[in-house]
Structure 1
Amino acid sequence: MRLHRLTVTAFGPFAGTQVVDFDALASGGLFLLRGATGAGKSSVLDAVCYALYGAVPGLRPRTRLRSDHAGAGVRTEVRLELTLGGRRLEVTRSPEQPRAKKRGSGDTVDKARTLLREWTGGDADGGWRAASTSHQEVGAEIQQLLGMSREQFCQVVLLPQGEFARFLHAGAPDRAELLGRLFDTARFGAVEDWLTERRQRTEKDCQAVLGEVGASLERLRQAAGRAADAVDPLPPVTTPAAATDGAALGWAAQLRAQAREELTVAHCRQQAVEQRRELAEQRAREVEVLADRQARHRRAVRRSGELAQQDGQQREALDRLERAQRAEAVLPLLRLRYRAAQAQQRCEQQERFHRAALPAAHAGADAEELTAAERHWREQLGGLRTLLSAERRFLAIERDRAGLERERDDDEAVRAEAEAWLTDEWPGQRQRAGAGLEQARAAAGRADRLDEQVAEARRRADAAEQAGTLRAGLAQAGERGLRQREDAEAAREGWLDLRERRLDGMAAELAERLADGAPCPVCGSAEHPAPAPAGPGRVTREQEQRAEQRYREAARAAEQTGEELRRLERDAAALAAVAGEGTPGELREAVQRLEAEQQRDRRTAAEGLRAQEELDRLEREHERRTAVSGQAAELVAARTARLEALATEQRELAAELARGRAGAASVAARVAELEPLADGLAAAAAAVREAAAGAETLARAEREALAAAEREGFTDAEQAGRAALPDPETARLRAGVQQYRDDLAQANAELTDPQLTAAAALAAADPAADRAVLAAAEAELRSAYAAVQAAGARCAELDRLSAGLAAELRRLAPLAADHRTVSDLAFLAAGTGTANALRMSLETYVLAARLEQVAEAAGARLKVMSQGRYSLAHNDARSRGAGRSGLGLSVLDAWTGQSRDTSTLSGGESFFASLALALGLADVVTDEAGGMPLDTLFIDEGFGSLDEDTLEDVLDELDRLRARDRAVGIVSHVADLRGRIPTQLEVRKGRGGSTLHQHGAG
């Protein structure tokens, strides 16, 4: 991968469009990315990462990619031109960002956009060709060509020194976290988790079946009852091994055998009790039969005597039945005569009633005369009913006239009120509302004209106050800058003094590093006859480095304070130009005067809104009152005409109704008088006719009843009626006679039965004693039967439970074997089993192999950087206590021949060790990604901790990277690097945003 050109617009701290020509920066192989703190050095690297992956390193949100300095019409965009896998590509990305709507007011959101183009050559058909505009497709294409995820890219191409320094001194968990991200060993951790989850699941399955086995054993014990006490107890079953050793099945077999023995004993007892019960039942039946025959014979003798005493009563009952049978032929005619007499009596009563209600003129009239009188009055009623509707109309007109007169009076009052308002109140109210509206409009215009004056006055007052504040800060910043420059000069003199004293004692420092038999780094001799001794006041390398660090920090602080002082001076001058003449107090008083005047005008303008509302209300009220007056006048005229028409119609109806009333209060009252008279005449005529017909019917019925009584042998109809009997009495007498005959026949039959006669000759039987013996035998039989049923149910239940236990044990066996296998693998993969001597998990084992590769690659670089003294080695020694092993690192010191812990390295040694580790890790990750060559690398801060000689060694190693056609960018604040690395990309920050400047690039 080689970067060619980066273009950023409105991205991060860059307000406009900035271009980075990586081809020009890479011409020297090594270039420096520098700038003040917060200028945007990291934003250049963020732009590269965003162009490739659509996201920036770390956890920063995508919504903060847009520059706060950019104008509203400038769209945030990043374009990166690079070579990947021999293909020249251009990636353009724009994040989601707001913009002003093209139509109307407000903002809308532009969606994120991505464009991938590929260079196809310089011929006529060549040029940039669009490859894709899909976020997903572009991301997949870039990641496939790079072979690295975003996390790997940020670690391999953008080498973060601080993180690798922590990695160098970190423990196994922290190293595992970084290596896991880079080499994607999560699948091995997933295997560990899967085995653990599988072990827990198989254990849960085994425990579930084992619980069922225990429950089955408990159910077997409960089902066996007393039989369980006759066999040896079963030890508790708490493990799969204890459940599958055969003891449980043997114990269940013993329970079944004991239960079957109890069932055989119960069967034998039941058979013996059944024989005794059959004998008792036979004897009880025989005694019951004898006792029944003796009782029947006694009842027959007693009944025969009772029937002999009822003979006379039975003959009398037979005679009554015979006379009642003859009277049956006369009864229908007697009933007809009775009903005819009842009807005649009712008709006579109706006739007397209706005649009493008639006028005296009709008291003695016959039926024909009464009918003629009824017809006359019916004709009179027909004529009167035709006048009833006219009478109702007359009354309705009376009500309508009263209502219309009230409505006409109301409409006249409404019209008069509306006319009074339109004439007296409307002109004055309209004139007052119009004057208030004109006054408010004038005040609103004055308030609008004062807006610009108030804003300008406020801006001048604010600028004057801020300028005063800045001038106070200028004095403090000047004093602070003077002190910091003096401190920096003193620190520089102290550092140079210590450096000179250390150079004077360098021979003694080198002599301390000499070892017998080891070559001298100066002359190469293995003999050291007179090493230089250390003098008094010796200065160590660490003291010199600390003094230099104090000087660098003091110089940076002084430089920053100077920049702040210059910025404050520029800001104060700009604010003073805005404020102009006048003190801050005078300017603030002018603002207050203008604001007070503007507030008065705005209050007056607000009252104008109420005046406009009042004027609109008066206009609407004028329209309403005018309409109301017109409508009321129309209604008054219409109702007056209607009243005149109703009065004429009412006079015509009054004359017609006077003729029909005939002196009554009304036509309806006259109808009410005549209707009862006509109805009474009709009812009286009908009653007279019905009374005559009833008398004829009664005479005919009496003649027929007398003739029928004489034919049946009775002297008159009344004698036949007395001989008749009611149906219930007849049925009772016949039932009594038949019952007497049946009882007499049954008594005679039983008295002559030979079995009953023979039983009566024997001694009296006692069935109660034999029934008691039978009841005792049946109770004993039920007990024996219940015992057999219980024993049989116990055997069946034990068979069922034993079969279930066997099935559960068969199901448990493969689960237990699977659990043992999975447990052994899970503990081995997790590093907690006894078979894993180093307590190294599967993921740690894979990471250890990767770390070994990284240590080998980094050791070669570290050896060159340290002039052959140090190299890195992977350490998989077993950790103490419960810690895991496999991710250890140690430093091999060639001068002492001993391995040292990485925590013993000094600051500078830790830097170039971590740099070697980062470069070695980059090589291994690159190989892991398929060998994709990384021609552009960035190395973050950390060079300030190196002395001059070590810095030269590190730069030499970086030159070796350049020799392999790599471009290496160093991100650093170290001032010495500016003179050593001529090719530079400088980031300058300002109030309007940061800018990029390239120096020394070809």
Structure 2
Amino acid sequence: MRPLRLHIEGFGSFREPAEIDFTDTDYFALVGPTGAGKSTVIDAICFALYGTVPRWGAQNVVHLALAPSATLGRVALVFESGGRRFGVVRVLTRNARGAVGTKESRIDELDPGGRGSMAELLTAGARPLAEGEAVTGEVQRITGLEYRYFTQCVVLPQGRFAEFLHAKPAQRQDLLVQLLDASVYEDIRQRAVREEDAAASSAAFARRQLAELSGADEEAERAARARLESLGAVAGLIAAEVEELRERDAALRAKEQERREAAGLLATLGRLAMPAEAATLAESLRAAADETAALAARVAGLEEREQEAEQALAALGDRTAPARALAVLDEHARLTREHSVAAGRAAEAARAVPPLAERVARAREALAEAEARLERERTANAAAALAARLAVGEPCPACLREVTELPHHPAPADLRAAERAVREARTAAERAQAAHAAAEVEAARLAQAEGDLTRRLTELAAQVSGDRATIEARLAAIEAAEKEAGRARQEARAGRDRLRAAERHAEGLRRTAERSWHDLAAARDTVVALGAPPLPRDDLHAAWRALLAWRDEAAGRQRAALQALDAELAEAVRERDARRARLVAGLRAREVRVPDDAGPDQIAREVTAATVRAEAALHKVREDRARAAKLEERARELEQQAQVAHELAQLLRANQFERWLCAEALELLVAAASETLRELSDGQYELVLGARGEIEVIDYAEAGMRRNARTLSGGETFQAALALALALSDQVAGLAAAAARSLDSIFLDEGFGTLDPATLDTVATTLERLASSRERMVGVVTHVPALAERVPVRFEITRDGSGSHVRKRTL
């Protein structure tokens, strides 16, 4: 894991946004006074990756991450691991009750070539990998380190430098398993166990298949071969017998066909029967011909009568003109009646107009009188009101003369009665006027209607010619002639219908006669092979009687021939069955199963099938023997594979191979750390492994005495822990399986203040050499100026009232 860019906001002492760019930085120092926030930068890297910080104690503590006065905190880290780039973001919030919780956690894979601001880096080709609680697990998968081992190999926080140095052997083994990717050997062991199970299962299955083929041996093959040879000999022996049976079966089939034909002819003779209509058909034909002739004569008379009636009707002419004249007379009579009524109504309406005109005049006079009375009363009331305001000696407002004496006026009258009288008079006048106008309109309408009827009567009078009696008499004569013509037409039509029905009946009888003669000829043809005689063509009934008489004689002869054929067939069947029984018995003696009633072809097929089965049995025995040999070879191979897999699984067990691998790796790490410690301690100390796996120190100042590393002083412990950390960082890539792990960075938080100047110089030189390889990033947290001045890149951390701030300086 190698950090590239770190963003801190509202985290710890960094209340305001701060961004640290580690790009192209191999060796840096976080410097500043105590409490400025140097360790907070390392804490932010740990928190971004694992959601917790070593200084907080428990891993589930997050409330210490948020700045005391902040309600929102955000940490974002862009880092590289295994040649890939990732971005991880964690956001914290404080609710109204003051509780701090994680609002957002996510990790994305980013574009390795991305450039720009932090926001641009986090969105460049982002591919989401995990969110929420799954982020920490994804980080562990990417870096290959759990949190507790990350803080022992990559980040060495304050006060925890010596954890790996003082760890128990089992704890160191767990760390080395992760660092060396030794879990791959456990995967190999588990795969070996699976392959052992699979090979053992396949071998057992092959053995079961072998057990099923236990009968496929040399003796079985000899028996199958002998059976096939025996059946080959039988096939040659029965060929003549089968051919004889075929010939006898063919003769039987021919005789049976002859018998069926004879029986069919006898049945045909039995089916000969005279149709029921044959005896009466000739008489029916004669009667139909007579009826047709009589109906034809009657139809001729009816058609002559029909023609006479049509001529009489034509002589009377068309009924349209007299019918129209009669309609005009009827219309004239109807309009005459309507004119009389209309004239009376018009006269009555004309008489009603003058009284209504007088009523209008009276109503207008009454209205004028009521309006005049209302005006008089209004004037009197106005005068009384004016008089009430006069005063003697004052000018009159009307005439402007001085009032010498007050006039006397009666009390003002109530105008409402006069006004109501005016309204009633006006309403009466309006009603009278409306009634008069309506009467005038109605009188005019009725007069117009009377005039219209008068003009129509005049027009109709001009159209009338002749008197009603003459016209009605002519119409009656036409109607009588029409009825007579209709009856004649109907009777002629009915006669023609009866004639056509009689002709159809006669034609049907003729066709029946033709069919009957045809049926007779067909019936004779069915028995002509038996010598049926020729038949007369003039009398159907006589022809049938002659054919039936011959039928009775021929049926007797045919029954006698059929009995003789039955006897011949029975004898042939007995001979055939006896020969077949002898052949079937001989085949059964040779274990060829043949049904008792099998025909020659079936017997031949059964022998052939038995031969084919024998060949198949021999072939199967040979195949089974070959398959058994292959199964035996396969079972042995699988059993050998299972044994090899079993031995490999035993060798790779965790309490054997893994322990050996970690012990070897630890020896190499301790040896490398010992060289560094010897350099740091000016040759005083070396590290070695004790008998129980504890790390011990050889103190050459005490005559090479070995003692537990826990007995070292604080400064000596820092030197030993630093030597181990540097050895881990330097050696783990070479020790890991297939170079699966690489510690790309190491961060050392404080501890340098315990070193004397000479040792500090040695430590600084060692760190510079480690960083100069450019294979890993080295970061130190220190307030020791002598060390900080030698680091090429310094991130100066300061703190004021608004929180911590960071500034980058390079030499």
- TM-score w.r.t. the length of structure 2 is 0.44
Q: Which has the larger radius of gyration?
A: 2
